[in-house]
Chain A
């Protein structure tokens, strides 16, 4: 949406909403006359706080930041215990974290709060097990692939919303039936030829 963050505009025609219409139950866009509601909160009026650059070390023997040896440490990281200056201190989940711990935890998928996206491997397995079965022949490839996906990604982090492993179970069950059917067909053809 092409909006400057400090403006409020009609969602339909992008015309700015005058302050007189803010926090009113019933208002209309000045341009398209669409009924609208614009709710403004105190954060709208807050001025951004100046970022701290950290305090330099004043005296010899004072604790310094692990990442910036010339800056005075103000707090230890609650994860790794390293001393952090005001610049490196990140308040996250009610604790003090260092940027490296956040990065490492995020890369390992341990921080659901920071994940921008998740792959739904259980859905992939279920789709592989069901849709190709409509055409029958593709299952000779997709059934083993389904099993591979189920085994490979069984422990992979799934959706951060509530989700069970039922799709994995169903996909594995269907893939087993498909593989069993193919084995039975091959054995049947072999014995029939003999």
Chain B
């Protein structure tokens, strides 16, 4: 499905196209009441760029170690990730008339939206004129106060228990990484680390679901998303490092200890350890601060008995 916008002589044409048909929406300049553009977080772009860098590193490693076919495949994959990150939506735009509010899916990048809105504003103001500051200020009675206000969605109370557990387990996971870095990794330690890691991932997903429309602090909510992004990046890095080691050592890898002693794996383990400890500690501190600042109901004033 592709969307595009076309400027007509007296209207804006929004086209939605699939391979077999096109559908049109027309917005006449005289009817357009308002345009709202909201910036969105660039999480998808961040993930795309991170994946692109990691896969490109893998591609270079593969090309360097004499695996051109896989190297080219990874390079193409990296370009694809970069493109997806580059084209991901980072703004949302809607247009309002007296009878409807329509999103404009073609305006999903801030630069495109800014350019289109500038052109649109010019055309609309040529048709309707512009709203002066005086009009905006002088019309509170008949246009602003008279409008029924949409009730703000009530925020759910979230105790944050899942967040507490997830961030605490991240410290445990960091400690396990530290142990495996200091000494030779054992199978039971690896299993425990894997179980803890999976539990953290599930808890983070649960936390991300729970915290929607909740009264949790913005910092905590953002940290959950950052931690999830870190998990994805960490997983991709692990994949890249494994491929690099496999390509680097090749048939020479005769024992697990030899693989574990590889400097690339050590470096990855260190970054992983620092990431888990940093995010876990930050999460716990933010949760503690949130708990402190949560408004508690004022104490009931007792009468003096008179």
The chain A residues found within 8 Å of chain B, CB to CB, are 1, 3-17, 19, 22-23, 29, 31, 33-45, 48, 113, 115-120, 123-124, 127, 159-161
Contacts and interface: CB of A to CB of B under 8 A. Distances in A.
A89 to B, nearest CB: 18
A36 B94 contact: no
Given A38-B36, A116-B25, A118-B21, 13 more contacts: A4-B150, A7-B147, A13-B153, A14-B150, A16-B150, A34-B38, A37-B36, A41-B125, A43-B31, A115-B24, A124-B20, A160-B13, A160-B24
- Chain B contact residues: over half helix, strand or loop, or mixed? mixed
Contacts of A40: 33-34, 131, 136
B22 interface: yes
B98 interface: yes
Contacts of B96: 3, 5, 8, 44
Nearest to A43: B33
Contact of A161 (B15, B32, B36): B15
Interface residues of B, number: 57
B117 A42 contact: no
A124 B20 CA distance: 6
Contact of A44 (B13, B33, B133): B33
A7 B139 CA distance: 15
A19 B38 contact: no
Interface string B131-152: 1010110011001100111101
Contact of A11 (B31, B38, B130, B143): B38
Contacts of A45: 131, 135, 139, 143
Contacts of A36: 36-39
- Chain A contact residues: over half helix, strand or loop, or mixed? loop
Nearest to A35: B39
Given A5-B101, A42-B130, A34 B40 contact: yes
A17 B40 CA distance: 16
B22 A43 contact: no
